[in-house]
């Protein structure tokens, strides 16, 4: 985990540190399998069971005498489901293997083929019960963070073919205490660098077969709710036992057999689940048991089990220590053991041995809330009802709670919809969980004729009545009686006057992006056109609106017309150019008619680098050349000939970007049209409507790979038992920009693939004393002569090991937020130290002790350790706090645990960011702050060559969260140099407003400069070689939108190259020069000058030196 490895006592002691690498394998699998890691089986089986009831023919039931028999049938099915899904492991493990197999096969036959039983179900269970059973099963899955698409994708994933990498095979079997285990055990294979190579689940006989392995040596281990092991007999202990593992060699085409496991079942916790009275069992019901550490609010495992007729359950615990146990069931509020409502108050349960059996861990659940809420995240709630004329309940009214302290979004709900579990009556809503505080509640009738309203009866937030909420309590009676809103009507036709059916038309308040009016302008509406092309948007409050059409991808007009803002503003980004429509509620406005034009397109083919092999599955995007903003259009190359069609597009010039999934096995790299790696170097592609610009072809290169091991001492690698998840960064030799960043694995290995051909410097960033940042070759900083460059060829593989150097100095201070003149602590803000070349050397986090993995009493305090003696630039990275809040939101909204979905890699278990303790309820304050260099110098954000790496990483692989980190950041002019072992290095950060973060966003960032600035290029001197990636970067700032031209001249004043010649938005930008002249040849050694022209301004020439 990045910045979260514990070295006890602040020093490395092999074999004594404890770590939390929970499941590195999860993020490297198919997304659905990732989210459903331990839930997959019970999801599939429960749906199959519900589907059986739902899909079989129905008959009327004419007698009430069938009730008892129906209960028996349901109990039989539930019991069958228990055994088939193998959720009750303890009972099954006591049966003999032969007996269990025969019984299981018979029961499977019963489910699939027993027509007698199906007939009884047909005759004795009413159709309504079947439908309700199916809906309940769906709701149970949704309450645990899944939507319907993910649920059925989980079923489909069982039959999905696995990509093959090689022809080797590893086979074996798994037993638990000598008995074939139920399904739910997975065997995973990692290469010696610690990266996933394949996996397989057990068949009914406990056998597995992992195929598609390339020649090499592999770790083989189990993943289950038992005591997992590496082969051979090395307990995994969260991967910390990897040094005791035995590597399995595999040759090309070889099948290696006999790689067998006999796991320990682990400790057992048993008890009963009762209703509130503590006597009535909750029988034959699905119960989710969650186990938390007793010393921190971290869920370590959970199990989904069915109770029997007495409400009894049993779960395995694959570890020892002190724990807090939580249980929840559909239709009941969850609780911690011994009737405790919160983690803080929960009783501690101690497991001393893996052979322990703890009995009597009983629960008494209260009818009400359903599964899906995080037990650690419970808080207060706001509840009420929304009605219209004559008191009629309004369904699908959008409800929002804003914190009155700072107007941040605190929670939301939709009337009549149980978003986070439970059930609500028509027109009712519940917004939860909420912190104690004061809130403004907002209602917007999404599909009806009623307008927006703030509680209590106000049309503006200024007149709203605040609602007070206490933690663990519900504020009830926050009711709304909505008033009729206004409407906008019109039609949508094609140029030939033909009416367009099923076109979505949206209306948004014109000033919604105005910071000063944002809170009072949250109003929108939508409608679909009918068969005559007519639409009516209802429920609008008085004000000015902008309207846009959206031809949905599944409509008959998708790709055939250009959507537009009314009137004739085509790009999604041109909403400011739309003609506003005034609404006076409850009156009507219109007609507002749209005539949609035929679009333009871009076409071409995508092939490999020499043009001989078509490449399918490549996505193509069009970015406006004037401001680099993407149009809402894309194309995909076909698998046959690699051809694509990109559109629909309006008139204009575009930069066309081609990319393929980052983990594509072929290793193709993204690029702009004409082979450019940066947006600045990309050629413009003109589009004229209606028409197609042809022959915009791409020849994609394959990336190279750098792999190796991180060593703590010669011959002793890092790993899950010592120092793990260490960031490894590849910097471009010539520009200094971070091209790729990955974490080391449980075995201390790393692998950076998909690198563009070029030369790199490899940096390992431990951030934990006594280790210090170290480059390949032993260098301490980027420009250290010992920091050896690594040359990567197309599709080449380079081995490069790094042994960490030493550093024990620190830098400490505090970070505060300044909001409306009030200063407060700013926890979860990263503070980073840089060398003189702008490359990060270490980091700290406010309110968190990275060395000891604990919270700090001082929530604003930080300390950076692992520094060598010297002077450093120090800056804040407040976006880190934003990312951590996203992680908290994933945990609180029913996700499958930290770092397991939604925002991959942020939870810490899979590396990337520290798994910080829980920081509150679903009261998220997604604020951004103006970062600073010490002392009080604003950070300027630059597009630079790294912007392409960022776009690529986030588009193609959300796991690459580290692409967001500023590993390369040159200290701004005026930034102070900070000596190591300094204290009191404090920051006070101002909040960025909406205009800065949204309205003025450019590809270059959110900072809008106050004047024109042309900066010195970096690196300088420019050291050129024959590779096109070589060169230098020129940064510049423009305070307003302008036509920009950057030109390079030789010492005689002759024009050598034009780097930029286009319209650009206000902001901080950069241009890259690869050392080539206008004819494509490398320039000679000597002195060169570059000049910036922006609008009618020309900035002074700056000098640079070229050396070859």
pLDDT tens across 656-667, in order?
999 886 555 678
Provide the 8-state DSSP code for 665: T
What is the secondary structure of 706-747 as a DSSP string?
EEEEEEEETTEE--TTSS-S-EEEEEETTT--EEEEEE--TT
- The per-residue pLDDT of the chain, averaged, comes to 77
What is the arithmetic mean of pLDDT over 1069-1096? 86
Q: Please give the Cα distance from 106 to 261 (Å, whole number).
A: 27
CATH number where 311 lies:
2.60.40.1120
Residues 1028 and 1072 in one domain: yes
- Co-location of 576 and 626 in the same domain: no
pLDDT of residue 145: 44
Whether the CB-CB separation of 420 and 373 falls below 8 Å is answered with yes
Question: What percent of the chain lies above the pLDDT cut of 90?
Answer: 40
Once rounded to an integer, what is the mean pLDDT over residues 1011-1020?
83
Statement to judge: residues 448 and 506 lie in one domain: no
Q: Among candidates 1074, 975, 1088, 1080, which has minimal Cα distance to 732?
A: 1074
367-381, 398-412, 927-941: segment of lowest average pLDDT: 367-381
pLDDT per residue as tens digits for the range 546-557: 999 998 766 788
Residues 6+ away with beta carbon under 8 Å from 813: 831, 861, 862, 983, 984, 985, 986, 987
Q: What is the pLDDT of residue 405?
A: 76
**Higher pLDDT, residue 870 or 551:** 870
User: Who has greater pLDDT, 209 or 165?
Assistant: 209
For residue 700, the model assigns a pLDDT of: 92
Asked whether 420 and 381 are in contact (CB, 8 A), the reply is no
Report pLDDT for 1008: 60
Q: Are strands 822-825 and 809-819 parallel, antiparallel or unpaired?
A: antiparallel
pLDDT (average), residues 391-406: 86
Q: What is residue 385's predicted lDDT score, i.e. its pLDDT?
A: 94
Q: Is the pLDDT of residue 12 over 70?
A: no
Q: Give the mean model confidence (pLDDT) for residues 434-444.
A: 90
| Nearest partner of 916 among 979, 853, 864, judged by Cα | 853
Mean pLDDT of 531-538: 95
pLDDT at 183 over 80: no
Two tokens at 736?
Answer: 């200094």
The structure tokens 């846009």 sit at 548
- Please check whether residue 562 is in contact with residue 596, taking contact to mean a CB–CB distance below 8 angstroms: yes
pLDDT band at residue 303, thresholds of 50, 70 and 90?
Answer: confident
Domain final residue, candidates 596, 616, 638:
596
Interatomic CA distance for residues 187 and 519, integer angstroms: 52
469 and 573 in a common domain: no
Q: The domain spanning residue 723 has which CATH number?
A: 2.60.40
Co-location of 558 and 444 in the same domain: no
* Per-residue confidence band for 880, with pLDDT thresholds at 50, 70 and 90: confident
| Token pair for 756 | 């563009």
Least confident segment among 394-398, 641-645, 1028-1032: 1028-1032
Half-sphere exposure of 431 (CA within 13 A, CB side): 32
**Residue 206 to residue 185: CA distance in whole angstroms:** 9
**Cα dist from 1080 to 66, 680, 802, whole Å:** 86, 16, 37
pLDDT at 1065 over 50: yes
pLDDT confidence band for 505 (50 / 70 / 90): very high
Task: Count Cβ atoms within 10 A of the Cβ of residue 409 and give its class: 0-12 exposed, 13-18 middle, 19 or more buried.
Answer: middle
Neighbours of 296 (CB within 10 A): 14
Average pLDDT estimate for 257-279: 94
Q: What is the pLDDT of residue 284?
A: 85
Judge whether 354 lies within some domain: yes
The alpha carbon dihedral of 365, 368, 371, 375 has a sign of negative
- For 275-292, what is the mean pLDDT? 90
Out of 18-22, 460-464, 663-667, 1055-1059, pick the least confident. Answer: 18-22
> Is residue 888, in this structure, part of any structural domain at all?
no
Cβ–Cβ < 8 Å for 28, 189: no
b/e sequence 126-155, b meaning 16+ C-beta within 10 Å: ebebbeebbeebbbbbbbbbbeeebbbbbe
Same domain, 775 and 656: no
Q: Judge if 835 and 948 occupy the same domain.
A: yes
* 1101: CATH: 2.60.40.4070
Query: Residue 1056 contacts by C-beta under 8 Å, 6 or more apart in sequence?
Result: 1048, 1049, 1050, 1077, 1078, 1083, 1088
Does 714 score more than 60 pLDDT? Answer: yes
Highest mean pLDDT among 528-532, 552-556, 639-643: 528-532
Residue 905 included in any domain: no
Give the residue-averaged pLDDT of 884-890.
51
CB 3 within 8 A of CB 831: no
Report how far apart, in Å, the C-alpha atoms of 421 and of each of 142, 381, 428, 694 are.
Answer: 8, 14, 14, 52
Range 425-431 average pLDDT = 89
Report the C-alpha gap between 187 and 207 in whole angstroms. Answer: 10
- Residue linked to tokens 């009549």: 416
Question: Which residues does 152 contact at the CB level (< 8 Å), separation at least 6?
Answer: none
Does residue 486 carry a pLDDT above 90?
Answer: yes
Residue 1082 counted as domain residue: yes
pLDDT at 173: 96
φ/ψ of 1033, rounded to 5, equals -115, 135
Predicted pLDDT of residue 98: 45
pLDDT, position 854: 78
Dist. CA 293–CA 65, nearest whole Å: 49
How sure is the predictor about 423, in pLDDT bands with cuts at 50, 70 and 90?
low
- Look up the domain containing 963 and give its range: 809-878+928-999
When pLDDT is cut at 50, 70 and 90, the band that residue 369 belongs to is: very low
- Mean pLDDT, range 158-179, rounded to an integer: 74
How many domains does one find in the chain?
9
Mean pLDDT calculated for residue range 794-816: 95
pLDDT at res. 816: 94
Distance CA 784, CA 787 (A): 5
How many angstroms separate the CA atoms of 997 and 992, rounded?
Answer: 7
Mean pLDDT score, 811-824: 88
pLDDT confidence bin for 141, thresholds 50/70/90: very low
User: In this model, does residue 949 exceed pLDDT 80?
Assistant: no
Residue 215 and residue 199 share a domain: yes
- Model confidence at 211, in pLDDT bands (50, 70, 90)? very high
pLDDT value of position 436: 86
Residue 1044: pLDDT above 90?
no
Q: Would you state the pLDDT for residue 951?
A: 52
- Which pLDDT band holds residue 295 (cuts at 50, 70, 90)? confident
Q: Give the residue with greater pLDDT, 22 vs 143.
A: 143
Q: What is the pLDDT of residue 67?
A: 37
Rounded Cα gap, residues 912 and 905, in angstroms: 6
The reported pLDDT for the residue numbered 1094 is 84
1085 pLDDT above the threshold of 50:
yes
Q: What is the pLDDT of residue 960?
A: 53
Most confident of 11-15, 379-383, 867-871: 867-871
97-113 vs 40-55: helix crossing angle, rounded to 10: 40
- The pLDDT value recorded for residue 994 is 42
Identify whether 155 is part of a domain: no
Inter-helix orientation angle 40-55/127-143, to 10°: 160
Answer whether residue 94 shows pLDDT above 80.
Answer: no
CATH number for 180: 2.60.40.10
CB atoms within 10 A of CB 880: 22
- Asked which of 146-155, 555-564, 945-954 is least confident by mean pLDDT, the reply is 146-155
In degrees and rounded to multiples of 5, residue 343 shows phi and psi of: -65, -40
- Domain assignment present for residue 241? The answer is yes
One domain for residues 611 and 591:
no
Beta bridge partners of 364: 274
CA distances for 540 relative to 206, 343, 454, 581, angstroms: 62, 44, 14, 12
Is 29 inside a domain boundary? Answer: no
Answer with the residue of higher pLDDT: 186 or 1064: 186
895 domain-assigned: no
Quick one: 547 and 668 in the same domain? no
For residues 634 and 646, the answer to whether their CB atoms sit within 8 Å is: yes
1005: DSSP letter: B
The Cα-based distances of 182 to 77, 342, 502, 955, 1099 in angstroms read 18, 33, 49, 39, 73
Highest mean pLDDT among 207-216, 295-304, 521-530, 813-822: 207-216
pLDDT of 245? 96
Provide mean pLDDT across the span 417-438. Answer: 76
- 249 - beta bridge partners? 217
- In eight-state DSSP terms, residue 567 is T
In whole angstroms, how far apart are CA 72 and each of 67, 111, 286, 765, 1079?
9, 15, 17, 62, 85
Taken as a whole, the chain contains a residue count of 1108
DSSP string, 485-550: -EEEEEEEEETT--B--S-EEEEEETTTT-TTTGGG---EEEEE--TTSEEEEEEEPSEEEEEEEE
850 lies in the same domain as 984: yes
Is residue 782 exposed (0-12), middle (13-18) or buried (19+ Cβ within 10 Å)?
Answer: buried
Residue 295 structure tokens: 């010393």
Q: Based on the domain organization, do 834 and 938 belong to the same domain?
A: yes
Give pLDDT tens digits for 736-770: 888 888 889 999 999 988 888 999 999 999 999 99
Between 335 and 43, whose confidence is greater? 335
Least confident among 302-311, 375-384, 1032-1041:
375-384
Q: Which of 806, 837, 853 is the last residue of a domain?
A: 806
Question: What pLDDT sits at residue 525?
Answer: 86
| Distance, CA of 19 to CA of 764 (rounded, Å) | 20
pTM of the model: 0.67
């Amino acid at each position: 985990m990045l910045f979260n490895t514990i070295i006890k006592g602040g020093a490395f002691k092999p074999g004594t540190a404890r770590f939390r690498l929970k499941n590195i394998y999860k993020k490297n699998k198919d997304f659905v399998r990732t989210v459903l890691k331990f839930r997959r089986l019970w999801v599939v089986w429960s749906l199959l069971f519900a589907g059986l009831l739902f899909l079989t023919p129905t008959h009327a039931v004419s007698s009430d005498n069938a009730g008892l028999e129906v209960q028996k049938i349901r109990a039989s099915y539930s019991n069958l489901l228990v055994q088939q899904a193998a959720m009750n492991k303890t009972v099954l493990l006591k049966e003999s293997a032969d007996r269990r197999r025969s019984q299981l096969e018979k029961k499977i036959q019963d489910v699939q083929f027993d027509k007698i039983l199906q007939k009884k179900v047909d005759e004795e269970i009413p159709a309504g019960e079947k439908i309700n059973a199916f809906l309940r099963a769906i709701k149970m899955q949704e309450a645990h963070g899944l939507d319907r698409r993910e649920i059925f994708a989980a079923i489909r994933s069982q039959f999905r073919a696995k990509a093959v990498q090689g022809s080797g095979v590893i086979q074996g079997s798994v037993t638990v205490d000598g008995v074939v285990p139920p399904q739910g055990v997975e065997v995973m294979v990692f290469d010696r660098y610690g990266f996933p190579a394949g996996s397989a689940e057990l068949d009914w006989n406990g056998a597995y077969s992992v195929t598609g392995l390339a020649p090499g040596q592999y770790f083989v281990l189990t993943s289950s709710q038992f005591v997992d092991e590496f082969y051979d007999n090395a307990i995994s202990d969260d991967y910390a036992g990897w040094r005791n593992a035995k590597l399995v060699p595999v040759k090309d085409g070889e099948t290696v057999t006999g790689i067998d496991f006999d796991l320990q079942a682990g400790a057992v916790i048993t008890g009963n689940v009762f209703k509130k009275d503590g006597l009535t069992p909750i029988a034959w019901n699905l119960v989710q048991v969650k186990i938390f550490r007793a010393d921190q609010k971290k869920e370590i495992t959970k199990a989904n089990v069915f109770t029997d007729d007495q409400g009894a359950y049993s779960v395995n615990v694959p570890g020892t220590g002190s724990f807090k146990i939580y249980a929840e069931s559909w239709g009941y509020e969850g609780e911690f053991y011994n009737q405790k409502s919160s983690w803080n108050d929960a009783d501690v349960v101690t497991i001393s041995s893996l052979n322990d059996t703890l009995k009597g861990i009983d629960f008494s659940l209260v009818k009400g809330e359903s599964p899906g809420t995080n037990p650690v995240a419970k808080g207060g709630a706001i509840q009420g009802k929304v009605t219209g004329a004559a008191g009629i309940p309004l369904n699908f009214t959008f409800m929002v709670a804003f914190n009155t302290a700072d107007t941040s979004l605190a929670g939301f709900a939709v009337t009549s919809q149980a978003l986070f579990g439970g059930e609500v009556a028509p027109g009712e809503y519940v917004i939860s969980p909420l912190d104690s505080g004061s809130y403004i509640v907002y209602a917007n009738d999404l599909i009806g004729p009623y307008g927006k309203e703030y509680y209590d009866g106000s049309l503006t937030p200024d007149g709203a009545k605040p609602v007070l909420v206490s933690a663990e309590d519900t504020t009830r009676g926050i009711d709304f009686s909505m008033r009729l809103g206004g409407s906008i009507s019109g039609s949508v036709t094609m140029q030939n006057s033909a009416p367009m059916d099923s076109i979505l038309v949206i209306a948004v308040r014109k000033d919604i992006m105005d910071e000063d009016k944002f809170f009072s302008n949250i109003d929108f509406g939508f409608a679909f056109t009918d068969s005559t092309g007519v639409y009516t948007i209802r429920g609008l409050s008085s004000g000015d609106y902008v309207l846009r059409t959206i031809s949905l991808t599944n409509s008959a007009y998708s790709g055939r017309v250009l959507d537009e803002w009314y009137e004739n503003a085509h790009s999604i980004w041109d909403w400011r150019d739309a003609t506003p429509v005034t609404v006076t509620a409850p009156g009507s406005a219109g007609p507002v008619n749209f005539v949609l034009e035929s679009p333009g397109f871009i076409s071409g083919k995508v092939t490999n680098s020499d043009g001989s092999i078509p490449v399918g599955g490549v996505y193509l995007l069009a970015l406006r050349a004037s401001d680099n903003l993407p149009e809402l259009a894309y194309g995909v190359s076909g698998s046959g000939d690699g051809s694509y069609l990109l559109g629909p597009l309006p008139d204009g010039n575009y930069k066309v970007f081609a990319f393929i999934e980052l983990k594509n096995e072929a290793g193709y790299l993204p690029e702009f049209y004409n082979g450019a790696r940066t947006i600045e170097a990309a050629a413009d592609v003109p589009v004229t409507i209606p028409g197609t610009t042809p022959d915009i072809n791409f020849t994609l290169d394959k990336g190279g790979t750098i792999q190796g091991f991180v060593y703590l001492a010669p011959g002793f690698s890092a790993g899950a038992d010592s120092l793990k998840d260490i960031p490894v960064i590849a910097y471009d030799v010539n520009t200094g920009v971070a091209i790729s960043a990955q974490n080391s694995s449980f075995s201390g290995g790393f692998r950076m693939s998909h690198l563009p051909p070029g030369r790199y410097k490899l940096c390992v960033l431990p951030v934990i004393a006594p280790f210090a940042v170290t480059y390949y070759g032993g260098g301490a900083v980027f420009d250290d002569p010992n920091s050896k460059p690594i040359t990567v060829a197309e599709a080449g593989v380079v081995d490069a090991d790094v042994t960490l150097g030493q550093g024990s100095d620190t830098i400490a201070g505090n970070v505060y937020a300044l909001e409306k003149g009030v200063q407060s602590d700013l926890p979860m803000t990263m503070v980073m130290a840089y060398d003189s070349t702008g490359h990060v050397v270490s980091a700290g986090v406010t309110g968190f002790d990275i060395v000891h993995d604990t919270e700090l009493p001082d929530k604003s305090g930080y300390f950076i350790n692992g520094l060598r003696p010297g002077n450093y630039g120090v800056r804040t990275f407040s976006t880190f706090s934003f990312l951590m809040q996203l992680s908290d939101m994933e945990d609180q909204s029913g996700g499958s645990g930290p770092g397991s979905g939604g925002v991959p890699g942020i939870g810490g278990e899979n590396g990337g960011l520290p798994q910080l303790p829980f920081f509150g309820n679903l009261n998220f304050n997604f604020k951004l702050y103006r970062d600073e260099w010490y002392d009080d110098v604003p950070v300027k954000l630059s597009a630079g060559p790294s912007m392409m790496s960022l776009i690529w990483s986030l588009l193609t692989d959300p796991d690459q969260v580290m692409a967001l980190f500023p590993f390369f950041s040159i200290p701004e002019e005026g930034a102070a140099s900070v000596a190591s072992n300094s204290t009191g290095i404090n920051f006070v950060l101002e909040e960025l407003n909406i205009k800065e973060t949204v309205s003025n966003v450019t590809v270059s960032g959110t900072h809008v400069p106050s004047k024109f600035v042309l900066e010195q290029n970096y690196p300088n001197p420019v050291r050129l070689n024959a590779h096109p990636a070589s060169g230098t970067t020129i940064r510049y700032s423009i305070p307003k939108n302008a036509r920009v031209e950057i030109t390079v001249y030789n010492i005689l004043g002759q024009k050598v190259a034009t780097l930029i010649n286009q319209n650009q938005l206000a902001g901080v930008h950069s241009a890259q020069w690869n050392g080539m002249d206008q004819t494509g040849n490398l320039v000679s050694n000597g002195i060169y000058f570059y000049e910036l022209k922006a609008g009618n301004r020309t900035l002074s020439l700056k000098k640079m030196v070229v050396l070859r």
